[in-house]
Amino acid sequence: MDERSSSFFALGLSKSKKSPVVVISTSGTAAANFFPAVIEASHSRVPIIILSADRPRNLIGSGENQTIDQEELYGCHVRYFKDVGLPKDNFVLLEEILQSSINHSMGFDNKIPPGPVHLNFPFKEPLLPDDVQKIEHPQFSFKSTNIIENNSAIIPVLPKSARPLIVVGPMEENHFQEQIMCFADKIQAPIFADPLSQIRYGFKNRRILTNYDHFLKFVDIHPDLIIRFGKKPTSKILCQLIDRWKIQTYLIDCWHQYNDNSHNFIQAPIDLFCKNQINEICWKGELKWTNLLLSMDEEIDMLIQSEIEYSEATIASVCHKSLKSGDKFIIGNSMPIRDVDMFTSASGIKIDTYSNRGASGIDGVISTALGISAENNDRRSLLLIGDLSFYHDMNGLLASKYEMNLTIVVINNNGGGIFSFLPIADASMDSFAEYWTTDTGLDIKKVAELYQCQYYQSANLKELKLSIKESFKRKGIQIIEAQIQIKDNIHAHQIFMQKVEETVTPS
């Protein structure tokens, strides 16, 4: 119904379909409302194609209604921009432009990754001829061949290592996880698996570790070789250590852009890289070091499974455990993705996970989730989101009229609690709550009624489990409000971290 929501819906649909989605707008501020989704698509490498209508160039700056300068509107955030010019009878050039748009959006070369494309179409009045039926539609033929070179001769063999570590960051598609595990087995390396890696959930492999964010705060592990796949992980402590370990880190990716500045970058498809290393490497990491990490991970996992207090951590865990193989789990930014990272364990249940981690904004998340769920709408989809992020994209709930199925679990802590974990919260500032927690005062039940969504309220884990189970039986958008007090949640986190410290550090 509005441009911002529609562009985030397209973002989610493209993530799920793995192909470009086209978004169309009129001129003026309409196209500007696509900008947040364009930024996210750029950093997430998601192909969306923006088609904006425009006024003729001679009217720009003249005060003519709904007329702004739309050329290069999105700046460096698009892979390709073209002002198509006024319509002409000769469509040969247009076909070339459209083909180039597809190529750029899909990353069909060795230099630029997939991402958004912007085509601007100015029109003179009258916009249509008197007889619309006589308009002839051109017939175009498009090619979509990936021309990335798969040259194994340029893939170097990794140096010998005693303490190798594999880090798999966000990869929102099933992207050669089996090959990564075979590679890990060959060199006897543990795998730090991000919740968005598509390897944490769905594979029974003892090397897959999920609790590193906890023990890395207390234990210095000293890897001498780090192999990275995917984008930077969610865990802040792990990202800080990767920066410290930069010299001994190798990043494997088809494109370097929109990832990070790793010291050693190997441009190659993941499957080809893993096959090359398996065939060429003749060493293994130290089993003692690997088993130490596995042991710490298992001990922390037992702590997580024993948690029964109602907190944002256990809410994230319940959401994950409610899903079955083939379901979709969409995770909001700020605390939800961090709680999923810290408090969900590896499992053999294969679920697809998604989050807007390109620019990590809290806007447009509902629409993104609806776009993701719209592809294969018969699969169950669950969105875990905070109340402030929920407020940012309430307009997206209007999609309920299109009969899409999505369960939304809203953690309502009255304004977002992530800043309450920072030192600023302990600075004895009387105005901290006013300026840092952003309480919207929303009555989420009334929001559900306004947008004709089914509403549930959960005040404990038992009610949450029952609400999610019931929501999956119904069609349409289901909203479950999980009410939490920020102070109680912080206290639960602190108690848990004390248990972790006692578990992983010598007495």
Hey, where are the domains in the chain?
Answer: 3-127, 152-302, 309-502
The CATH number of the structural domain formed by 152-302 is 3.40.50.1220
Residue 151's alpha-carbon distances to 144, 154, 156, 229, 276, in angstroms, are 20, 6, 11, 18, 11
Mutual angle of helices 461-471 and 312-321, in 10-degree steps: 30
Residue 429 confidence (pLDDT) = 58
Task: Write down the pTM of the prediction.
Answer: 0.92
Query: Is the model more confident about 150 or about 180?
Result: 180
Residue 189 confidence (pLDDT) = 97
- Tell me the residue type at 269: P
> Is residue 417 within 8 Å of residue 437, measured between CB atoms?
yes
Residue 297 confidence (pLDDT) = 97
Retrieve residue 46's tokens. Answer: 């998601």
Retrieve residue 379's tokens. Answer: 């699969």
- Spatial neighbors of 139 by CB under 8 A, at least 6 apart, are none
Residue 424 confidence (pLDDT) = 61
> Is residue 47 within 8 Å of residue 14, measured between CB atoms?
yes
Instruction: For the chain, give the percent of residues with pLDDT over 70.
Output: 91
Residue 255 confidence (pLDDT) = 84
CATH number for 309-502 (one of 3.60.15.10, 2.40.110.10, 3.40.50.2300, 3.40.50.970): it is 3.40.50.970
Q: How far apart are CA 470 and CA 481, in angstroms?
A: 14
SS3 199: coil
Averaged pLDDT, 452-474: 96
Which residues sit opposite 392 in a β-bridge?
A: none
Distance of CA 267 to the CA centre of its chain: 22
Write out pLDDT tens, residues 39-60.
Answer: 999 999 999 999 999 998 888 8
Is-same-fold flag (152-302; 309-502)? yes
Q: Residue 20 — pLDDT band, cuts 50, 70, 90?
A: very high
> Is residue 118 within 8 Å of residue 155, measured between CB atoms?
no
Radius of gyration, CA atoms only, the chain: 25
Retrieve residue 179's tokens. Answer: 């090959």
What are the b/e assignments for 67-100, b being 16+ CB within 10 Å? bbebeebbeebbbbbbbbeeeeeebeebeebbee
Q: Does domain 3-127 have CATH number 3.40.50.970?
A: yes
In degrees, to the nearest 5, what angle opens at C-alpha 21 toward C-alphas 15 and 23?
125
Q: How far apart are CA 164 and CA 236, in angstroms?
A: 20
Residue 146 confidence (pLDDT) = 59
Residue 492's alpha-carbon distances to 314, 322, 420, 421, 482, in angstroms, are 10, 22, 13, 12, 16
> Is residue 239 within 8 Å of residue 260, measured between CB atoms?
no
Give 230's DSSP letter. Answer: S
